Chains A and B, each alone.
Chain A
Amino acid sequence: MYRISKDKVNDIAAALAEEHTLYAPALQRETLQVMFTQIKDLARINLTAALPLVPPKHVVFPQFGRTLSYAYDKAKQEVKFTPETDNSPKALFGVRACDLTGIQCLDRFYLGQDFVDEVYRDHRKKMFIVANTCVTPFRECFCSCMDSGPSAREGFDMNLTDLGNEYLIEIGSEKGETLAKKLSLASAPESAKRDREKAVDKSLSLFSKTAKDNKAWISRVVNRVTTGLFDEKAWTYIGDQCLECGACSFVCPSCSCFNVVDSVTGKDSAERTRTWDSCSFEGYSRMAGGHNPRKPVEDRRSKRCFCKLSYSQSKKYLRHGCVGCGRCAWVCPGDIGMPNVVTYIRREITKKGQ
């Protein structure tokens, strides 16, 4: 464990920026929204700003990304492929615990199943992650329900915790240790561990009423979502409020569905692009003949919540798919973010006679 004074914390970012493309939370001047964005001017980094509007998912899994370009010379009947992956060094500075958990979900899903996704693997290859503990929760936060915060426990190279006058730095990897040595960071006393625990406990006590209420209920809701043992009308109720905009998936740190499109770029050349997709869209499961096995909006809602909450899906992520960042609740125009879905299902299973 090390410590660093508050005015020096950007030294870590500066050291990382030497060899990495640096991404950190910063206030966007035009919109006054906090964005997790590429940083060229270190003074823009804001570690105390609210949870970024969009998670750092876009760094490991870009919203639009060319994965392959190819040229087909029809006269000569020759095909030439150029795979395009990006394995440049990247550093994420000041990642919140929920977002880090989201990246872990993506790691386990993309790298740990039957096949390894080469595009994702290359993005993730040379990455340095500095996590940041949330000493105060933000609006709609419910990571305490989802066991993903407010402080990260694994998956980081360095983890910062604001202890008032200084930052406590925990080291999570050899890379982290090397950087700490390089910066000659002062080591922290053993008592700092207790200060950190106090800060996390204080943060937990500040969570909203919804998060506190749902905490005890989450495992029962998960059980019922997995088994489907509750009145399906709950999904109709939720589906009726869905505007099918797909915003919940786009701001979700663990949503990983993508679409693949081939588009012509020249006379003989074309490219294959991977873009984010959402299971909320009607066209998501529609097949070429027009048959759509998941057409009704409530089925699509049910699908997304199954993906985020069920035990069966947890096998893929080795945890819940939902990381409790609460972004779906901020952005949802129909007010059916994950905390509300949990509340509705809870209401359904506690009705008389269930």
Chain B
Amino acid sequence: MSDNTTIPEVVTVDEIRDEIVDVKTFYLSFDERPGKKPFAFKSGQFIMCTVFGAGEFAVSLPACPENDRFHLTVRRTGKVTNALHELKPGDKIGVRGPFGNGFPFEDIQSKNIIYVGGGIGIIPLRSSIMHVMQNNQKFGRILMFYGARTPRDLMYQYNLKEWKTAPGFETFIAIDNPMPGWDGPTGFVHTLIKNADIPVKDTVAFVCGPPMMFNAVIKELLSRGLDEHSIISTLERHMKCGIGKCQHCSIGRTLVCTDGPVYTYHQIKTLGEQI
């Protein structure tokens, strides 16, 4: 349990990088933490981020927990994220967390891994991808399917290049419709999977993206023979507290902030609510 569950901890925005339209990455550094352990998190967890005077929102952690600059990648959507996008390097924001369960890396050693991301759904997966890339000898085949609307909507361009050439990685990237200047495949992500040779036995799939894409991908993966227990996703919900008290993030009998945000498809299916 972290000791910043109620009062946010102050961090400084060091650098801001434009990713795609309306999406920015904020590199952060923690102020002095006297008497405290260094900030540590597990891949798949999230934090509650305070923009002073505007409010607080839940956001996933795209950085690799072991060796990466701590950062957040945020799309401009509402009041608080708009205020965040107005910030300049040197400004302060607040952080509570990390919260949530994280990806089950202990259970998936030596298995094949399939990543499926749609649009900015790649953000929560990035942390896991970076971890797997650095430890690729511990896993079997590693496949990555990523789709976005246009080439300009592809997130993490600098990482995509790396992933395309990383040893052991099979990377498939598509945009929705053919466009001049794009020589790669086109179509939705699930059609990419349909045409690919994917492993089924001893395989874990990480899926994250908008609900429409999610449902189509799940259908495709299940029809190829993947088990419901080995399809893993991370869900997002309206959250106010992060510590399981405000209950805004409840799905069925669980709370996304304390029981999630990482769920298997089997869990999602039996919760009895829409994702």
CB 8 Å contact bits of A125-156 with B (1 = contact, 0 = none)? 00000000000000000000000000000000
Q: Are B250 and A303 in contact, CB atoms less than 8 angstroms apart?
A: yes
Known: A118-B6, A262-B53, A293-B275. A287 touches B92 (CB 8 A): no
- Contact: A77 with B91, CB < 8 Å? yes
Nearest 3 A/B pairs, CB to CB: A312-B253, A288-B78, A115-B243
Determine if A294 and B247 form an interchain contact, defined as CB atoms under 8 angstroms apart.
Answer: no
Residue from B90, B92, B237 in contact with A285 in the complex, judged by beta carbons closer than 8 Å: B237
Q: Within 8 Å CB of A70, what residues of B?
A: 52
Q: A303 CA to B54 CA in the complex, in Å?
A: 30
Given A115-B5, A262-B55: A289 and B77 interface contact (C-beta under 8 Å): yes
**Stretch among A46-54, A175-183, A212-220, A252-260 lining the B interface:** A252-260
Interface size on B, residues (CB 8 A): 45
Interface mask (B2-24 → A, CB under 8 Å = 1, otherwise 0)? 00011110101000000000000
- Decide if B273 touches A270 in the complex (CB within 8 Å): no
Chain B residues whose C-beta falls within 8 Å of the C-beta of A72 in the assembled complex: 52-53, 92
- With A83-B7, A313-B253 as known contacts, state yes or no: A293 contacts B91, CB within 8 Å: no
With A285-B237, A288-B77, A299-B273 known to touch, is A270 a contact of B5 (CB < 8 Å)? Answer: no
**Distance of A303 Cα from B274 Cα, bound (Å):** 12
A115 touches B273 (CB 8 A): no
Query: Closest CB-CB distance, B222 to chain A, in whole Å?
Result: 21
Instruction: Out of B52, B238, B253, name the residue touching A284 (CB < 8 Å).
Output: B238
Of A113, A260, A272, A293, the residue contacting B237 (CB under 8 A) is: A293
Contacts of B6 in A (CB 8 A): 67-68, 83, 118-119
**B245:A117 contact, CB within 8 angstroms:** yes
Residues 7-66 of B contacting A (Cβ, < 8 Å): 7-8, 10, 12, 50, 52-57
Main secondary structure of the interface of A (DSSP, over half): mixed
A74 within 8 A of B: yes
Closest to A119 in B: B6
Question: A334 on the interface (CB 8 Å rule)?
Answer: no
**For residue B1, which residues in chain A have a CB less than 8 angstroms away from its CB?**
114-115
Instruction: Give residues of chain B (115-161) contacting chain A, Cβ–Cβ below 8 Å.
Output: none
Contacts of A286 in B (CB 8 A): 238
How far is it, in angstroms, between the C-alpha of A310 and the C-alpha of B253 when the chains are bound?
A: 9
Nearest-neighbour CB distance to chain A for B267, whole angstroms, equals: 13
Q: How far is the CA of A262 from the CA of B53 in the complex (A)?
A: 6
Categorize the interface residue count of chain A. Answer: 35 or more
A residues near B55, Cβ cutoff 8 Å: 260-262
- 14 CB < 8 A contacts A-B: A114-B243, A114-B244, A114-B258, A115-B258, A256-B245, A256-B247, A258-B245, A259-B240, A259-B246, A270-B52, A279-B250, A294-B274, A299-B273, A312-B252
Q: What chain B residues lie within 8 Å of A270 (beta carbons)?
A: 52-53
Q: How far apart are the CA atoms of A257 and B52 in the complex, in Å?
A: 24
Q: Does A86 contact B (CB under 8 A)?
A: no
B245 partner, pick from A110, A272, A285, A307, beta carbons under 8 A:
A110
A14 in contact (CB, < 8 A): no
Q: Is the CB of B52 within 8 A of A287?
A: no
Write the nearest CB–CB distance from A302 to chain B, whole angstroms.
Answer: 9
Q: Does A206 contact B (CB under 8 A)?
A: no
In the complex, chain B residues 220-247 whose Cβ is within 8 Å of any chain A Cβ: 236-238, 240-241, 243-247
Known contacts A115-B243, A115-B245, A293-B274; A79/B56 CB under 8 A: no
A290 to chain B, nearest CB (A): 8
- List chain A positions with a Cβ less than 8 A from chain B: 67-68, 70, 72, 74, 77, 79, 81, 83, 109-110, 113-115, 117-120, 228, 256-262, 264, 270, 272, 277, 279, 284-289, 291, 293-294, 299, 303, 306-307, 310, 312-313
Query: Is B94 interfacial (CB 8 A cutoff)?
Result: yes
Once the chains are docked, how many angstroms separate the CA of A119 from the CA of B56? 17
Q: Of the candidates B10, B78, B80, B250, which one forms a contact with A79 in the assembled complex, judged by CB atoms under 8 Å apart?
A: B10
Identity of the chain A residue whose Cβ is nearest the Cβ of B83 in the assembled complex: A262
B211 contacts the other chain (CB 8 A): yes
Residue interface bits B195-210, CB-to-A below 8 A is 1, else 0: 0000000000000001
B52: chain A residues within 8 A (beta carbon): 70, 72, 79, 270
Which of A77, A113, A256 is in CB contact (< 8 Å) with B92? Answer: A77
Cα-based distance from A259 to B10 in the complex (angstroms): 23
CB nearest to A82 among chain B residues = B7
Evaluate contact between A79 and B94: CB separation under 8 angstroms.
yes
Contact partner of A291 (CB less than 8 A), chosen from B57, B211, B252, B273, is: B211
B259 to chain A, nearest CB (A): 9
For the complex formed, measure the closest distance between the CB of A22 and the CB atoms of chain B, giving whole angstroms: 28
Give the residues from 84 to 129 in chain B that come closer than 8 angstroms, CB to CB, to chain A: 90-92, 94
Decide yes or no: A287 and B237 within 8 Å by CB, A113-B244, A312-B252 being known contacts: yes
CB distance from B142 to the nearest CB of A (A): 30
Given the complex, which residues of B lie within 8 Å of A120, measured CB to CB?
245
Residues of A within 8 A of B274 (CB): 293-294, 299
Using known A-B contacts A110-B245, A115-B258, A291-B211, determine if residue A79 contacts B92 with beta carbons closer than 8 Å.
yes
- Smallest CB separation, A248 vs chain B (Å): 15
Least CB distance from A252 to B in Å reads: 13
B180: Cβ under 8 A from any A Cβ: no
Name the distance in Å between B263's Cβ and chain A's nearest Cβ: 13
Q: Name the residue of chain A whose CB is nearest to the CB of B5.
A: A115
How far does the alpha carbon of A81 sit from the alpha carbon of B245 in the complex, in Å?
21
Smallest beta-carbon distance B249→chain A, Å: 8
Which residue of chain A has its CB nearest to the CB of B272? Answer: A228
A79 CB contacts on chain B under 8 angstroms: 10, 52, 92, 94
